[in-house]
Amino acid sequence: MSDLDLDPVLGVGHKSVPPALWGRRASEVAAERRPVDEFATPLLVFDRAASDANVATLTAWAAERGLGLAPHGKTTMAPELWRRLLDAGCWGVTVATPWQAQVARAAGVDRILLANEVVDPVGATWLAAELDAHPDAELVCWVDSPESVAALAATAGERPIDVLVELGDTGGRTGARGVGAALAVADAVAAEPRLRLRGATGYEGSYGADRSPATTDRVRGYLAALAGFAGALLDAHDIPEPIVTAGGSTWFDLVAEELGSLGGRAHVILRSGAFQAHDDVFYTRTAALPFEPALTVFARVVSRPEPGLALLDAGKRDVPSDLDLPVVLQTASGRPVPGARVTALNDQHARVELPAGAELAVGEVVLLGVSHPCTAFDRWRLIPEVEHAREPDPRVVGFLPTVF
């Protein structure tokens, strides 16, 4: 029985929803297509049209190359957005923790890649019990050491736990360091009746986040090693329905190039997740396909205390800043604000530097674009969904509950 409420009664726990709408179901309000300017600022909105276009773009691109998709659900932690990915033909959903896997199962997701080593006994016990209770569910997690193998092997249950062996490299995150070490972990898995070896995995994003030639070569070199490891693993072990997976949201094109040749021997799955929302800064610089930003923040000028300075009502509690500061796009009326630049965020304020003579009045609403969508969603328990957020008079057509 799921306790996820995906059509909540609006209330004080939903930031920026006006009190006039409290006590009503989200779906009821969405059907009325209310204008965004009826909501309080700051306000993060999700552009349905932009996101749908992004999903169509990547699913078509992957299908042309014979690749599966299990987009990373931790980006949004929004079960409705996961459903849209599955409806679009994605193989499954990726998560990063046992708790996120529990949310995905509660939301009805049957195929899950748990992209982490599960050594917490509570998480491992749940995983084993969930597999026994639901024979049709497919949950696959990572191992990268004898210790991580032993933690899963210590569980009780009838159905073996599916695992992928993770290959890492110097300076990276998790993953056995080197092909020899990874093959030894695979041998340990094969010797454990509680586990079932399903293939190889890795994460190339640890090895570079820009598109410079040197970084591209570094990432490509890691992926070539992962492909070599996967091939050796498939040669050494009889693996049922083998999986080879990698692919963050920056380097999925290189993953396709380096791992694509394994398609005849294994199901190659990309785990890119940020594409569904995209952004205006980091992924706009680095993604290999022309996705559209689906996140926009509406923020209001609360003070113009000095010439060349404006303070907005959106801060660190509302917008991400872990990779880049937000960028000023335009006013809500569509007027450009050339030269306007966010220079700092406080908890509840954005500091905007303005060129001399800039027209930006107290009370005026400014549209901001964000960087790194993964850290935008977790600031909002309920996100209004619009169509064409950056066009005049956007209307709220839905609400996206998040689970953080």
Whole-angstrom Cα distance, residue 68 to residue 60?
Answer: 11
Q: Are 11 and 22 in contact (CB under 8 A)?
A: yes
Which pLDDT tens digit goes with each residue over 316-331?
999 999 999 999 999 9
Distance CA 63, CA 107 (A): 25
Closest CA to 316 of 401, 360, 376: 376
Q: What percent of the chain has pLDDT over 70?
A: 100
Q: Tokens at residue 85, please?
A: 């990915």
- pLDDT tens for each residue of 50-95: 999 999 999 999 999 999 999 999 999 999 999 999 999 999 999 9
- pLDDT over threshold 80, residue 2: no
Q: What pLDDT shows up at residue 283?
A: 94
Out of 2.60.40.3080, 3.30.70.260, 3.20.20.10, 3.40.1160.10, the CATH code matching 65-276 is 3.20.20.10
Domains 9-47+294-369+372-401 and 65-276 share a fold: no
pLDDT in tens, 132-171: 999 999 999 999 999 999 999 999 999 999 999 999 999 9
CA–CA separation, 196 and 140 (whole Å): 10
Parse the chain into domains and list their residue ranges.
9-47+294-369+372-401, 65-276
Residue with tokens 């700051």: 42
Q: From CA 154, how far away is CA 178, in angstroms rounded?
A: 26
Minimal CA–CA distance to 207: which of 230, 227, 223? 223
Q: For the packed helices 79-87 and 48-64, what is the interaxial angle rounded to 10 degrees?
A: 40
Residue type, 380: W
Q: For the structural domain made of 9-47+294-369+372-401, what CATH number should be given? A: 2.40.37.20
